[in-house]
């Protein structure tokens, strides 16, 4: 294929993915703004202390609606820890939050099938809970661990002034300029509880389509471009013919996902493209689970905060849970009578209409605007 033809093919396939996912991505960020505006932030600090099962499970569930990306969740988890959460609860929050955000679930529904849309967040919650319990068991807190006093609800956890904010502070997961992981690292202004519904709504939308979109949007567009390249370059069924099924493709996805700094939203279009080339649903789920939970930025901070022993348990549980759920979801597809080799098909019956083009243009414009404002 001529280089210019290849470039045009990549752009054409990328545009198709963008048109399909943009309306759902915008809806996901809108829901994130509602959560930001109206969900009490006190829920993120209460009832997470102790070494038992329930604090860890609560932390996993509390991470579901919080609109933070893989790097933005690091300072939030640090804030929980300093507010009195156990190591296991902070770990569970660190895993479940980027895996189950409203934006990632919306894009998941747009590009993958309904089964994966349901299985992925449920598997992430279970993985976060089991990993948190393992960290508590292998690296328990000291009996009389001093914790920071509870902070007023009008202040936001990820950017509390009580947390260190010097450039390059490892507790923040990135420096203040965002050079390490792509997020801004600056204080996120909370939505004061005293505001009325409309001001809170406006502040929540400004947060979702401002700083949150700046954190995630660039990675999402990169994922769309990578998916277009995969669809244009790889022959149909190339992955299934080369990797086969079972453990081999799952292990390959696990090894590929661990060093990548990719958020849950951005990983979805990449997996959708790989699925079109023959990747099994189990191997796809391994990438979707392990990638956002095990990026280098999160691991480096985890080692500094909780120690090498807890970090080893963290990685081992993520790997074991990802592979276990991979085998389970392949078995589920077989039980449902779905072809695991062709579990994802792109719809050609409904061509994208004007609404899809408007949403795609709006998403790109909002991402560019948010990134420029964030740098300024």
Residue 207, pLDDT above cutoff 70 = yes
Counting every residue written for the chain, the total comes to 376
Q: What is the pLDDT of residue 251?
A: 92
Q: Which of 230, 214, 337, 215 is nearest to 287 (CA)?
A: 230
pLDDT (tens digit per residue) in 67-76: 676 656 766 7
Q: How many CB atoms lie within 10 A of CB 202?
A: 14
Going from N- to C-terminal start, the domains of the chain cover: 3-375
More confident residue, 165 or 54: 54
Residue 360, pLDDT above cutoff 70 = yes
Helix (H), strand (E), coil (C) string for 95-154: HHHHHCCHHHHHHHHHHCCHHHHHHHHHHHHHHHHHHHHHHHHHCCCCCCCCCCCCCCCC
Residue 166, pLDDT above cutoff 70 = no
At 229, list the tokens: 């390249």
- Give dist(CA 78, CA 105) in Å, integer: 25
Label residue 332 by pLDDT band (50, 70, 90).
very high
Secondary structure of residue 322 in the 3-state scheme: helix
At 48, list the tokens: 């997470």
Give the helix ranges, DSSP H, for 172-212: 197-207
Residue 347, pLDDT above cutoff 50 = no
Q: What is the pLDDT of residue 241?
A: 58
- Give dist(CA 276, CA 142) in Å, integer: 49
Supply φ then ψ for residue 234, to 5 degrees.
Answer: -75, 135
More confident residue, 98 or 118: 118
Q: What is the pLDDT of residue 56?
A: 93
At 285, list the tokens: 């789920």
Cα-atom radius of gyration of the chain, to the nearest Å?
20
pTM: 0.71
CB 71 within 8 A of CB 215: yes
- Give dist(CA 226, CA 166) in Å, integer: 34
- Give dist(CA 170, CA 165) in Å, integer: 10
CB 34 within 8 A of CB 197: no
More confident residue, 233 or 167: 233
CA 66-69-70 angle, to 5 degrees, is 120
- Give dist(CA 33, CA 28) in Å, integer: 9
Q: What is the pLDDT of residue 366?
A: 94
Q: What is the pLDDT of residue 182?
A: 43
Contacts of 240-244 with C-beta under 8 Å, sequence gap 24+, read 240/277, 240/278, 240/279, 240/280, 240/341, 241/278, 243/279, 243/283
CB 177 within 8 A of CB 64: no
Label residue 50 by pLDDT band (50, 70, 90).
low
């Amino acid at each position: 294929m001529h280089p210019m033809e290849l470039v045009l093919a990549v752009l054409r396939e990328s545009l198709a993915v963008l048109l399909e996912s943009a309306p759902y991505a915008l809806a996901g960020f809108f829901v994130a703004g509602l959560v930001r505006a109206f969900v009490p932030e006190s829920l993120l600090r209460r009832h997470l202390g102790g070494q038992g099962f329930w604090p860890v499970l609560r932390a996993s569930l509390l991470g579901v609606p919080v609109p933070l990306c893989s790097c933005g969740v690091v300072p939030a988890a640090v804030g929980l820890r300093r507010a009195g959460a156990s190591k296991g609860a902070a770990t569970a929050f660190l895993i479940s939050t980027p895996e189950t955000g409203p934006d990632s679930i919306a894009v998941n529904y747009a590009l993958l099938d309904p089964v994966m849309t349901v299985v992925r967040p449920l598997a992430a919650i279970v993985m976060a809970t089991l990993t948190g319990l393992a960290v508590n068991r292998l690296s328990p807190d000291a009996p009389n661990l001093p914790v920071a006093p509870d902070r007023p609800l009008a202040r936001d956890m990820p950017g509390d002034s009580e947390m260190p904010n010097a450039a390059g502070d490892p507790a923040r997961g990135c420096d203040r300029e965002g050079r390490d992981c792509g997020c801004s690292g600056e204080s996120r202004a909370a939505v004061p509880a005293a505001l009325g519904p409309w001001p809170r709504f406006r502040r929540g939308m400004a947060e979702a389509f401002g700083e949150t979109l700046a954190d995630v949007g660039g990675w999402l567009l990169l994922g769309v471009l990578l998916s277009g390249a995969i669809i244009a370059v790889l022959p149909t069924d190339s992955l299934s013919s080369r990797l086969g099924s079972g453990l081999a493709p799952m292990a390959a996805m696990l090894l590929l996902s661990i060093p990548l700094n990719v958020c849950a939203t951005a990983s979805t279009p990449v997996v959708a493209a790989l699925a079109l080339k023959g990747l099994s649903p189990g191997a796809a789920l391994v990438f979707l689970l392990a990638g956002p939970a095990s990026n280098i930025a999160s691991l480096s901070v985890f080692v500094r905060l909780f120690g090498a022993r807890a970090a080893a348990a963290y990685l081992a549980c993520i790997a074991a849970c990802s592979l276990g759920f991979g085998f389970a979801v392949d078995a589920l597809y077989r039980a449902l009578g779905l072809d695991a080799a062709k579990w994802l098909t792109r719809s050609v019956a409904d061509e994208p209409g004007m609404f899809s083009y408007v949403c795609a243009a709006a998403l790109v414009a909002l991402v560019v605007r948010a990134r420029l404002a964030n740098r300024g």
